[in-house]
Chain A
């Protein structure tokens, strides 16, 4: 079969299988096997088949679009330098995405809402990553959620009578939500237009909401679910604005359509303000032309000739910026970027597999994915905003992660921080580096979360100070997590080889360094913040590992009960550990790797970087960051920052040369500041929640004393009227009817006497009456006749 027909079919099947599993579990979940265990098998089977199909699709793509040899590539880069771009554009043309529509939902005027697909190597890599991680997590959940198969006693919920809450297990419901999530996430990735992206964007949001609130009886869980949902709405509001701008000025939602207008082929795929936006901004001038022109054709001609002039004068530029910022706003919410990062740490109330799948590997990365997908639309201004938001996020979250003691919260802040890295990378032109980091991060972070889940499963606590010395009790968990820590810190031998994080983080830093060369002020801030962040990353990750696994048990009770997790949980850990190690590598003797594969999908026109001829900032071509001077410097910087972080953690927590408590006392205010998470929750409490509460209290008071009073009194009035009405009804209407009935009855009683039952009397009466009638008619006959005539 042809690739263009095979890919949509394969991916659609992979996409819809979890939906089928969801539907079946919704209908028959509780009756599947013993206590619903069959639901788990069904969902796992569906996602594993999806993974296989995605892998087949990926291999099919590779067989049609082979990746050039590394040597050839490098030679080209070195010899041709900038000029190579022209020859680069040619193969990029050949790698057109497979795009199209399956089904038209509706057409409103010129707006077509369709279910479509847009498949390129990025889509395929995302599909494979999502289904692989999801498969691992489905398996893992058999172990982790095992308790849900029976009657569950929730240790964190007390009923009103002081007893612990006992409830039926919700095993099937967990898998039901997981299936729905997989369907939504895959739908988001395969989407061919922004409207569809938005639909699935909201669907993954609702899945996240449902799964964060899985332990719905816990107040903290339901609060966290609400918080995640509401904070995401803030971002989605911006996204809706972006969508409205795009649609009203470009008249289309499809990726292909938008990119064609923003980077038209006849402008050399350079970012220009599309005609629609120019015309929307120049509405006054157009009105003038239409008023003065003789015929509509003449007016159109005049508008067409004037358009380039308007464009050069900057008309519509702001619309393009608003569109970009709007889309990015949605991504800020979903990817938990500053200032909407507050929901993600709280989302850790959900079961740990959910944290691994949704809040580390896939859903939160969707924002980064969308920024990557929408890359052609972003102007240098927007990219700079993205870079700064990412930079602030990564630095802030990394600092908070140092002081957190809840193992999952450390990982949550680490996720926020890593997402910040990705955003930062995308913002400074590192499209490939950012998306590469997305994939590697998905593996090592889901590994770390599953490892932490394994620890929590064994210790029944999230608090790291309660743990310690667990590496002997649970070696598999300890050493797979160590792999994860090394991967996220970017461990490796500089210039040569390392775990997955080494490759992706190095390329991000290299891109930043290359950015720094061209933009001194922005570059210095962003680069050193990111490098510092890398050091802090290594520091908090090893702090986590040392506190959990190294040293002596701090709580004997916890340590005694700890045990290695069952095989269903260890096997996914091993698979993910392998992936976390090798995801950054190339297939031996070829140049095929995740990065080169994603690189095939680089948006046309961004090969040379963005903003080369603007005063705002120059996002250099990513190829430049591979050049020796930059790459070598950055490799050493990355190595030493990570090493510094590792050494600090080792000194404090590994060998305990220095006591962390001393530092805590010395830097009291700083420590409190970090412990309170930079006071973000308090700040939002003060500037958003409290005013809202005041307003709603006032509204409630008006409601209670104004509207309710009105409603009560009108009700009282109506009651009074109806009482009057009742009185009239009873007295007059009913009285009349009753009186008629009573009189009829009385008459009947009187007439009863006539019916004697004596036949002779009847005969006599008849005879008498007949005779009487006869006599009367005879006597008065003449009168009657006279009256007749």
Chain B
């Protein structure tokens, strides 16, 4: 089976979602810049969003016709809102960190080391 020759379906969405997710995780794990990490988090969240949307496809549901089938979209919307809130809080933390350390290098943040 070769995805490249298939019509666009669920699998393709999932692949895009997975790529987004992994990219985000790698971004979080490698960036020393705090803003970069926040961007990685956005990518992870959007990867997850892709999955929610993808699985919301009407043909995949056992209760098709009985419900509106909008739960996946709803959750995705929540995640977007959540991401916005998270970004706001996260940027505030980064700013405050900058005021205290005059840098946004997360390796400098080791006060909570055990």
Cβ–Cβ contact A758 & B28, under 8 A? no
Q: Does A760 contact B (CB under 8 A)?
A: yes
Structural contact, A763 and B114, CB atoms closer than 8 A: no
Residue of B at shortest CB range from A755? Answer: B114
Chain A residues with CB below 8 A from B29, complex form: 760, 763-764, 767
| Chain B residues in 8 Å Cβ range of A759 | 37, 106, 109
* A71 within 8 Å of B (CB atoms): no
CB atoms of A756 and B113 under 8 A apart: yes
Q: Determine the interface band of chain B, counting residues with CB < 8 A from chain A.
A: 10 to 19
Instruction: With a 10 A CB-CB cut-off, give which of A751, A755, A757 has the most chain B CB atoms.
Output: A757
Q: Mark A747-784, 1 if CB is under 8 A from B, else 0.
A: 00001111111111001100100000000000000000
Give every chain A residue within 8 A of B37 (Cβ-Cβ). Answer: 759, 763
Binary interface profile of A, 50-85, with partner B (CB < 8 Å = 1, else 0)?
000000000000000000000000000000000000
Contact B25 A757 (CB under 8 A): no
Beta-carbon contacts under 8 Å, A705-740 to B: none
A753 touches B114 (CB 8 A): yes
Interface pair B25/A767, CB less than 8 Å apart: yes
Q: Are B28 and A757 in contact (CB-based, < 8 A)?
A: no
**Is A760 within 8 A of B28, CB to CB?**
yes
Which listed residue (B28, B32, B107, B110) contacts A763, Cβ 8 A? B28
Interface contact A760-B30, CB-CB below 8 Å? yes
| A760 close to B25 (CB less than 8 A) | no
B63 within 8 A of partner (CB): no
Minimum CB–CB distance from B19 to chain A (whole Å) comes to 15
Q: Does B112 contact A (CB under 8 A)?
A: yes
A755–B30 touching, CB < 8 Å: no
Closest CB-CB distance, A749 to chain B, in whole Å?
9
When each residue 18-46 of chain B gets 1 if its CB lies under 8 Å from chain A and 0 otherwise, what string results? 00000001001111100001000000000
Q: Does B111 contact A (CB under 8 A)?
A: yes
Distance in angstroms between the alpha carbons of A252 and B107 in the assembled complex: 104
**Measured CA separation A757–B112 after assembly (Å):** 6
Q: Please encode chain B, from 87 to 104, with 1 for each CB lying within 8 Å of some chain A CB and 0 for all others.
A: 000000000000000000
Question: Interface readout for A543-565 with B: 1 if CB under 8 Å, 0 if not?
Answer: 00000000000000000000000
Partner of B114, one of A751, A760, A764, A767: A751
Which residues from chain B contact A754 at a C-beta distance below 8 Å?
A: 114
Q: Who on chain B is nearest to A752 by CB?
A: B114
User: Which residues does chain B contribute within 8 Å of A757, judged by CB atoms?
Assistant: 109-114
**Residue in B closest to A764 when the chains form the complex, CB atoms:** B29
Q: Which residues on the A side are within 8 Å of B30 (C-beta)?
A: 760
Q: Are A756 and B32 in contact (CB under 8 A)?
A: no
Q: Would you call A755 and B112 a contact (CB within 8 A)?
A: yes
Contact between chains at A758 and B110 (CB < 8 Å): yes
> How far does the Cβ of B18 sit from chain A's closest Cβ, in whole Å?
12
A344 to chain B, nearest CB (A): 94
Interchain CB contact under 8 A, B106 and A760: yes
Cα A752 to Cα B110 with chains together (Å): 13
Chain A's closest residue to B25 (CB) is A767
Q: In the docked arrangement, what's the CA distance between A757 and B114, Å?
A: 7
A751 to B32, CA, bound (A): 25
Q: Report chain A residues within 8 Å CB of B111.
A: 757
Residues of B within 8 A of A756 (CB): 110, 113-114
Residues of B within 8 A of A758 (CB): 106-107, 110
Q: Measured between alpha carbons, how far is A754 from B113 in the docked complex, in Å?
A: 9
- In the complex, how many angstroms separate the beta carbon of B78 from the nearest chain A beta carbon? 22
A753 to B37, CA, bound (A): 24
| Complex-state Cα separation, A492 to B114, whole angstroms | 118
Q: How far is the CB of A761 from chain B (nearest CB, A)?
A: 8
The interface residues of chain A lying within 8 Å CB-to-CB of B114 are 751-757
Shortest CB-to-CB span from B24 to chain A, Å, is: 10
- A748's nearest neighbour on chain B, judged by CB, is B114
Given the complex, which residues of A lie within 8 Å of B25, measured CB to CB?
763, 767
- In angstroms, Cα B30 to Cα A276, docked, is 116
Shortest Cβ distance from residue B39 to the other chain A in the assembled complex, whole angstroms: 13
Measured in the bound complex, the distance between the Cα atoms of B31 and A759 in whole Å is 10
Complex-state Cα separation, A754 to B106, whole angstroms: 17
Chain A residue numbers with a CB within 8 Å of B109 are 757, 759
In the bound complex, residues from chain A placing their C-beta under 8 Å from that of B112 are 755, 757
User: How far apart sit A345 and B111, CA to CA, in the bound complex (Å)?
Assistant: 96
A755 CB to nearest B CB, Å: 3
- Shortest C-beta distance, A77 to chain B (Å), equals 123
Kindly state the separation between the CA atoms of A757 and B32 in the bound complex, as whole angstroms: 13
Minimum distance in angstroms from B113 CB to a CB of chain A = 3
The residues of A that contact B31 with a CB separation of less than 8 Å are 760
Nearest CB in chain B: distance from A270 CB, A: 112
Q: Which residue of A lies closest to B21 (CB)?
A: A767
A533 to B107, CA, bound (A): 124
Docked pose: A758 CA to B110 CA in angstroms: 6
How far apart sit A783 and B111, CA to CA, in the bound complex (Å)? 44
Q: CA of A763 to CA of B37 in the docked complex: distance in angstroms?
A: 10
A759 to B97, CA, bound (A): 14
Chain B residue at minimum C-beta to C-beta distance from A749: B114
Complex alpha-carbon distance, A763 and B44, angstroms: 12
Q: When chains A and B are docked, how far (Å) is the Cα of A731 from the Cα of B34?
A: 54
Cross-chain contact B28 with A755 (CB below 8 angstroms): no
Q: Given the complex of chains A and B, what is the CA–CA distance between A47 and B32 in angstroms? A: 104
CB-nearest residue of chain B to A770: B25
A764 proximity list for chain B (CB < 8 A): 29
| Min C-beta distance of B97 to chain A, whole Å | 11
CB nearest neighbor in A for B30:
A760
Measured CA separation A758–B37 after assembly (Å): 13
- Nearest residue, chain B, Cβ from A753: B114
Query: Digit string of A156-180 for contact with B (CB within 8 Å is 1, else 0)?
Result: 0000000000000000000000000
Please indicate the chain A residues that have their CB under 8 angstroms from the CB of B113 in the complex: 755-757
Least CB distance from A757 to B in Å reads 3
Tell me whether A760 and B32 are in contact (CB under 8 A).
Answer: yes
CB distance from A590 to the nearest CB of B (A): 116
Report Cα–Cα, A785/B28, bound state, in Å: 35
B113's nearest neighbour on chain A, judged by CB, is A757
Inter-chain CA distance A751–B37, complex, in Å, is 26
Binary interface encoding of chain A residues 620-641 relative to chain B, with 1 for a CB under 8 A from any of its CBs, else 0: 0000000000000000000000
Measured between C-beta atoms, what is the minimum distance from A141 to chain B in Å? 88
CB distance from A704 to the nearest CB of B (A): 69
> Closest approach, in angstroms, between the C-beta of A767 and any C-beta of chain B?
5
Name the residue in A751, A753, A759 with the highest tally of chain B Cβ atoms < 10 Å from its Cβ. A759
Shortest B112–chain A CB gap in Å is: 5
How many Å lie between the Cα of A752 and that of B113 in the bound state?
8
Taken together as a complex, chains A and B put the C-alpha atoms of A763 and B29 apart, in Å, by: 6
Q: Would you give the shortest CB distance from A88 to chain B, in whole angstroms?
A: 117
Give the docked Cα–Cα distance between A763 and B114 (Å). Answer: 17
**A residues less than 8 Å from B28 (CB atoms):** 760, 763
In the complex formed, the residue of A with least CB distance to B110 is A757
> When chains A and B are docked, how far (Å) is the Cα of A751 from the Cα of B114?
8
Tell me the bound Cα distance from A767 to B26 in angstroms.
Answer: 9
Q: Inside 8 A of A760's CB, which chain B residues have their CB?
A: 28-32, 106-107
- 22 A-B pairs within 8 Å (CB atoms) are namely A752-B114, A753-B114, A754-B114, A755-B112, A755-B114, A756-B114, A757-B109, A757-B110, A757-B112, A757-B114, A758-B106, A758-B107, A758-B110, A759-B37, A759-B109, A760-B29, A760-B30, A760-B31, A760-B107, A763-B29, A763-B37, A764-B29
Extra A-B contacts (13), CB below 8 Å, given A760-B32, A763-B28:
A752-B114, A753-B114, A756-B110, A756-B113, A757-B110, A757-B112, A760-B30, A760-B106, A760-B107, A763-B25, A763-B29, A764-B29, A767-B29
- Among all A-B residue pairs, the 7 with the closest Cβ atoms: A755-B114, A757-B113, A757-B110, A752-B114, A763-B29, A763-B28, A759-B106
